[in-house]
Structure 1
Amino acid sequence: MLSWRRFCPTEHMWNEALIKEEYTPIDAKYILPFQVWEDRQSDGLVFHHECKGLFTVHSAYHLLKHLGAEGDTSYGEQGPDLQGWRFIWDSSIPRKVHIFA
């Protein structure tokens, strides 16, 4: 698991070279403008769209359904490079492999 502290070794500064190395250029372009949070709390995985902070397929489904109902297509227009995922989705492999990929 990647820790944000690895990407932010000093106070309030991204390790820009590491971010550009670990992420695609378009992802790095969206990460670097974010200001580093001043309050250094312990790391943890949190999915803010779920009251318990845990990511589940169920919660992701409801989030996407909600965004679709609002007509929010910004993620598709501005989100990360999906070419790699498109290769998986468009490949001729068994359906159960698509689901778990």
Structure 2
Amino acid sequence: VEERFSRVPEPVQKRIVFWSFPRSEREICMYSSLGYQPPEGEHDARVPFTRGLHLLQSGAVDRVLQVGFHLSGSVREPGAPGEPERLYHVSIS
């Protein structure tokens, strides 16, 4: 929108913001799984959502910050026995 118009009217901006953020767990699940192709023999399309929810509930997600349309945070992945944990800094726009 910004590339196409020099000035975006406020009512249009409000509608864009309104439709840019999911409002329910069902919508978050749907959007987080778009484009996900389960491995052959697996039929659970909720896998990305379920994995993300497990990470959140286990305390692996930290330092979450949302500024406008930009979301960032850190995710810790426990290491296998004998391996160190990994820390990922993630951001989504």
Q: TM-score, normalised by structure 1?
A: 0.25
Q: TM-score, normalised by structure 2?
A: 0.26
Whichever of the two has the greater Rg, that structure is: 2
